[in-house]
Amino acid sequence: MSRKSRSCRGKATGRPLTEYDTIKDAEDGASYIRQKFGHAMVPYLCPQCSLWHLAPPSTERSSEPFQKFTRESRNCYGKVSGKVLKEYESEREAVEAAKYVSEKYGNQMLSYKCKDCRKWHLSPADRQTEHSSWSCLCLDQNGSPKDCYQSQKDAELRAEILFEETRRKLNVYRCPKIRTIWHLTKKDPKDYVGRKSLKCCNKQGNFRMEYDCGEDAMLHAIEITKRYGKEVFPFECSECLKWHVG
């Protein structure tokens, strides 16, 4: 599908450029022009409108479809290759780049937003897992939002992928705030036993164990469930503002 652009014009002619929504549409347009007029054209993704145009292969902008908006990241490196990652300003640019790589080289790629640099990168499809769209406001030790997974299976799959990349074991646990999503942690459930509260008691009059964060409380709840076969969950106390298990 093609149409005249409202914002982009040819530098030589000054006429509105033809724009395409996808690289496939642009390649079909280039093929049509080649067959009808005998002119070779190459698609490129416009950095201004984020849509596809055509240009002769001899022009600078058509020599590489992504050279105008693709650049190397200053901070992010591939966990497996160790090489500098390519970064993209918008999701649309990253998605189109993934399509281009998949169609040209046969490598299935997916786009994702990096939580470190806030830019977009590409990753092999077999190393990506589905994240949940829910936000539980849980933070990691660096103060960044934790990744959320829609199921325990997705979280475990992600843990396996990261173990292959870093050889670091991660544990899976249910979010203490929203029990329909899951997180990963470096912590071991066996290491968290909490401390006795000086304010809050249970129904039997015994002081409860308290935890500074929901993650620690959930990890101890997992260990209690495994050890005693009794399922317990963490909750945030409105009186002491700490976390308990019950």
Q: What is the pLDDT of residues 182-202, one digit of tens each?
A: 888 888 877 766 777 878 877
Better pLDDT: 98 or 62: 98
Within a domain: 211 = yes
Within a domain: 94 = yes
Please indicate, yes or no, whether residues 14 and 45 belong to a single structural domain of this protein: yes
Within a domain: 234 = yes
Check: CB of residue 44 under 8 Å from CB of residue 52. yes
The residue behind tokens 């304010």 is 199
Q: What is the pLDDT of residues 127-140, one digit of tens each?
A: 766 665 566 778 88
Return phi, psi of residue 148, to 5°. -110, 140
Within a domain: 95 = yes
Domain with 225, as residue range(s), is 189-245
Structural domain total, the chain: 3
Within a domain: 150 = no
Please indicate, yes or no, whether residues 197 and 229 belong to a single structural domain of this protein: yes
The residue behind tokens 């066996």 is 190
CA 199 remoteness from chain centre: 41
Quote the mean pLDDT of the chain: 80
Task: Tell me the pairing of strands 207-210 and 195-201.
Answer: antiparallel
Within a domain: 133 = no
Within a domain: 96 = yes
Within a domain: 175 = no
